[in-house]
Structure 1
């Protein structure tokens, strides 16, 4: 089977990957005018249903057997934080369910329980369902994974991760991760409604059917995802790839444009539109999107971070320092930028500056619980009552308070 050139988006780690440049992650696409407001007639062709076609599919349903396990592991009189820790032990410890990561198939909560493995979305289905049964506030959230570039400055990996979050009180909440040893972008989390999470489930299984060559079933599943969440740029992008596989250029272009219309940071759709226009001989339109890619690099701190790391490996310490300082100027609260600067100054023999940069990285991490660092922990607590992030007239500034 020849896989379509379009890039699909799956909401779980290492499966929501696409080798295409993307634009406007941190700023609006002011330099990209797609001149598109939607087409009512084409919209009806795509979202052509009045009800959920798969009401029998319940990603958050858990059996009495699962409920009994939760009852034995978690006591109702436990404090909520203790209940959560006991639940995580049940899910992941060797004397519990010992859930393992498997990227191949998206499961419902019940399927994960039976298989004892799943991708991030699958395991979060089981976690959210069990947590809610145990009286713990739990919701899905997506977080952007740090992008990577190659030596030539081309974006080669872009992915999005899904985990769960909930509140213990007005200022205190938690984040539960199934695969926590990953590099996430700071402050990019978005909490989802259950309808949005259900939509992502159908989007994922639709992509899986497309990969297997079942284009018609894939279309039906992703149409259902759009019925559940018509504002999902992910679903619009993926249905564009499905229409491309089915040989419908009109709905292919329409769907990709809808993805960008719903979110002008709809990264994969930008690349897919460029490929679509290039394939159809509309080179001027394709170049418009290529220029947007260049603009993105100029405004993305992680691009300069990647550039600085490459320069450090090449022992071009001046370029490494310049690149990393540019990254810091664009995003002051990313500890890895300061850690990289510390390595640069150490390589230059400037030990005092190296130590200062490492201390800055540690201070940002330890004094603000919202700052994410990869770790082996399945849970971290976020306390918003104390933060180094302060609003100011000039935007957000760092305030290191004693």
Structure 2
């Protein structure tokens, strides 16, 4: 079943796992002793401890040739943008969170990789650059049957009316210089929070690779040092749900909802935890609380649909899953659950149609075989009418 996750272009598992607002009104100290100290603590505990903003000597020499440290701040920003466009030719690549050095060498990465690189280069040439975070700007995507939602990070310069944001755009595979009313969507964050977002993504990658113990240690380490990063609470909740530690997950996520009441993935994953722990009334209460906030979130609709499916309200499940499908028509996972719901609701012809869509989109996916195992008549081509057998509810 889906597990939403989130990353920061910063990945956060939003309940379907699954990978980042203050108009930059204040400028934070760009680099204090806090991050090196915390990385040293992580290293002492045997955790990954690379500084995401560290630059190799060859990169420092390369940018120094292109950007004159003696020029005005505006001129240095212009030259740095030109350097990244002409020398590095940086391109967008989803789900590639890299350190500054890795991003420079690869010439591609997600918004966090770009921001790590731009902030590190800017500071090297004497610019007071900082991180800004946008939870309201989210991107949804699916990988291997799991859903992900990513928030967004960008680069900030200056403060007050002189504030500027350089935002890497997935759509344009380029950056945009934002200096108008849209800055109100961006919130300045400390380096510690930016590093915590980076390592939250790292922990998500570990979890997906099957190294759940390592991932949990990373989540808990940075959660203890950067509790203001909602993505850490959310992603640890996903990990606990994946391990069927539902009561522990629900306690964590409900606590986070008190601090981050508008952070959508928390509702989705809390519903998963409540449902997994058999607290269906609690799950429905969470649905009611989150519904107004999440009404346009396709993954919230998926989880609500699965809650109704588990409660054997199959027609209600169809309704919610159809709404999710309208937003994500090529999601194989949504179509698979919609197939199940249609058949359980006695809607055989519609179930056959959605199953055909699953086959068309992912003919070799294990999801196809799972559906055939649950509904053996699907193996008989063209026969969508026989009643399905009762299968184990998942």
Q: Structure 2 matches for 1:36-51, cutoff 5 A?
A: 51=41
Deviation at 1:118, TM superposition (A): 1.3
| Structure 1 residue 234 corresponds to structure 2 residue 231 | yes
Deviation at 1:78, TM superposition (A): 1.4
After TM superposition, the score normalised by the length of structure 1 is 0.58
Deviation at 1:257, TM superposition (A): 1.8
| Structure 1 residue 131 corresponds to structure 2 residue 128 | no
Contact 1:74 1:87 in 2 (8 A): yes
Deviation at 1:262, TM superposition (A): 2.4
CA distance in 2, matches of 1:243, 1:298: 25
Q: 1:219 to 1:147 in 2, by over 3 A?
A: closer
Deviation at 1:109, TM superposition (A): 0.9
Contact 2:240 2:248 in 1 (8 A): yes
Q: 1:238 to 1:101 in 2, by over 3 A?
A: same
Q: Structure 2 matches for 1:143-292, cutoff 5 A?
A: 143-146=134-137, 159-167=150-158, 171-179=161-169, 181=171, 186=182, 187-292=184-289
Q: Which residue of 1 aligns with 2:93?
A: 102
Contact 1:202 1:224 in 2 (8 A): no
Q: Which residue of 1 aligns with 2:69?
A: 76
Contact 1:74 1:134 in 2 (8 A): yes
2:50 paired residue among 27, 44, 57: 57
Deviation at 1:138, TM superposition (A): 0.7
After superposition, give the CA deviation of every residue in 1:40-87 in whole Å (9 maximum; x if it has no partner): xxxxxxxxx993344741111011111111211111231111100111
Q: Which residue of 1 aligns with 2:331?
A: none
Contact 2:247 2:273 in 1 (8 A): no
Deviation at 1:228, TM superposition (A): 2.6
Q: Which residue of 2 aligns with 1:357?
A: none
Q: Which residue of 1 aligns with 2:306?
A: none
CA RMSD of aligned residues (A): 3.3
Q: Structure 2 matches for 1:115-130, cutoff 5 A?
A: 115-130=106-121
Structure 1 gap segments, 5+ residues each: 26-48, 150-155, 301-402
Contact 1:146 1:158 in 2 (8 A): no
After superposition, give the CA deviation of every residue in 1:123-162 in whole Å (9 maximum; x if it has no partner): 211110110111111111112455699xxxxxx9964211
Q: 1:10 to 1:298 in 2, by over 3 A?
A: closer
CA distance in 1, matches of 2:273, 2:54: 40
Q: How many residues align?
A: 260
Q: 1:270 to 1:200 in 2, by over 3 A?
A: same
Q: Which residue of 2 aligns with 1:369?
A: none
SS in 2 for 1:51: helix
Contact 2:244 2:276 in 1 (8 A): no
Q: Structure 2 matches for 1:26-45, cutoff 5 A?
A: none
Contact 1:226 1:235 in 2 (8 A): yes
Contact 2:84 2:90 in 1 (8 A): yes
CA distance in 2, matches of 1:286, 1:115: 44
SS in 1 for 2:153: strand
Q: Which residue of 1 aligns with 2:85?
A: 92
